């Protein structure tokens, strides 16, 4: 039996990068899938790919910066399939800003995508689970930078650290509802979005992945499909009673010193 056999899964921010990898892994494990994104082209292309492989999937267009649309993404899934069993919040904004140069507008953008959207998507999903008296799971894709991060990630860190606290708070609040909520602090990962970020903000060339990998303990960047497999495990019953955990999915050890 597949890990997510027949489970209705929503992956918010699931049209590229880590989110798309999670979508593919969930469908391989038997999920009925919905993915959200702002742009219909990549979303519809991903859904077509998944359907061609024999999966059941729909695309829900949503701008997660709008709290109403974040909540509505869940409502749409419930309207379509009658319920939601699993939610993954994988959308993320990583534009740069330090404590000294971040504008209120940039700060608000980070809060909107990296914290407010997961909050209201979780609110809607958990309300459905509790209303039906059914168990469910949520995984929030966070970041190892939530522990402190680089100086140029100040608003990103502020929002993602808030998501760490929210993950634990919501898990505690709904443990007797059998709703398990966990987070994953992912490290440096090779995605389309990271490629664009490195080029836009750090002047990176075509060899940036190789140069970055050479500096990492295991000689390579993390891969989206590896993260996806871990997320699917946390969504599934195979992860048992684990809830309120924010796991460091990284090759650097917090607090370790040379």
| Structure confidence by residue, pLDDT tens digits, 70-113 | 999 999 999 999 999 999 999 999 999 999 999 999 999 999 99
**DSSP-H helix ranges across 149-249:** 154-173, 192-202, 208-214, 224-235
What is the 3-state composition of the chain as percent helix, strand, coil, each rounded to the nearest 5? Answer: 50, 15, 35
Q: Mean pLDDT over residues 25-32, rounded? A: 98
- The pLDDT value recorded for residue 109 is 98
CB neighbour list of residue 28: distance below 8 Å, 6 or more residues apart: 2, 55
206 φ, ψ to 5°? -65, -20
| Mean pLDDT score, 116-141 | 98
pLDDT class for 13, splitting at 50, 70, 90?
Answer: very high
**Mind listing the domains of the chain with CATH numbers?**
8-187+226-248 (3.40.50.720), 193-221 (no CATH)
Catalytic residue, chosen from 43, 85, 142, 156, is 156
Q: Nearest Cα to 88, choosing from 170, 17, 6, 23?
A: 23
- pLDDT at residue 177 greater than cutoff 80: yes
Instruction: Let me know: does 36 contact 14? Beta carbons within 8 Å.
Output: yes
The pLDDT of residue 61: 97
**What pLDDT was estimated at residue 134?**
98
Q: Check if the beta carbon of residue 90 is closer than 8 Å to that of residue 143.
A: no
Determine the Cα–Cα distance for residues 9 and 29; give it in Å rounded to an integer.
Answer: 11
Cβ pair 143, 92 in contact under 8 A: yes
- Those residues whose C-beta lies under 8 Å from the C-beta of residue 209, and which sit 6 or more positions away, are 190, 195, 221
Q: pLDDT, tens digit, for every residue of 226-256?
A: 999 999 999 999 999 999 999 999 998 988 8
Residue 203 is predicted with a pLDDT of 81
- For 161, which DSSP code? H
Average pLDDT of every residue of the chain: 94
Edge-to-edge strand ranges of the sheet holding 8-12: 56-61, 32-37, 8-12, 86-89, 136-141, 179-186, 246-249
What pLDDT was estimated at residue 194? Answer: 76
Cα 107 to Cα 61: distance, rounded to the nearest angstrom: 24
Question: What is the dihedral sign for C-alpha 62, 65, 69, 73?
Answer: positive
Residue 156 annotated as catalytic: yes
Q: What is the reported pLDDT for 11?
A: 98
């Amino acid at each position: 039996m597949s890990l997510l056999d027949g489970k209705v899964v929503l992956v918010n921010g699931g049209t590229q990068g880590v989110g798309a990898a999670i979508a593919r892994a969930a469908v391989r494990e038997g999920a009925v899938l919905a993915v959200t994104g702002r742009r219909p082209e990549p979303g519809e292309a991903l859904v077509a790919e998944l359907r061609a492989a024999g999966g059941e999937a729909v695309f829900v267009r949503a701008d997660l910066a709008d709290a109403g649309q974040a909540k509505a993404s869940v409502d749409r899934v419930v309207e379509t399939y009658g319920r939601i069993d699993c939610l993954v919040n994988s959308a993320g904004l990583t534009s740069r800003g330090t404590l000294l140069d971040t504008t209120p507008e940039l700060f608000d953008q980070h809060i909107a995508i990296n914290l407010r959207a997961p909050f209201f998507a979780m609110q809607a999903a958990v309300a459905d689970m509790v209303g039906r008296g059914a168990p469910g799971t949520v995984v929030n894709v966070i970041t190892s930078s939530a522990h402190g991060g680089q100086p140029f990630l100040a608003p990103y860190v502020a929002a993602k650290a808030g998501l760490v606290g929210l993950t634990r708070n919501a898990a505690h609040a709904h443990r007797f509802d059998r709703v398990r909520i966990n987070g994953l602090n992912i490290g440096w990962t090779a995605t389309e979005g990271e490629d664009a970020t490195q080029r836009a903000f750090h002047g990176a060339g075509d060899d940036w992945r190789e140069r970055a990998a050479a500096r990492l303990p295991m000689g390579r960047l993390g891969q989206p499909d590896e993260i996806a497999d871990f997320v699917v495990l946390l969504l599934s019953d195979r992860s048992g009673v684990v809830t309120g955990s924010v796991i460091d999915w990284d090759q650097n050890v917090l607090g370790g010193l040379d």
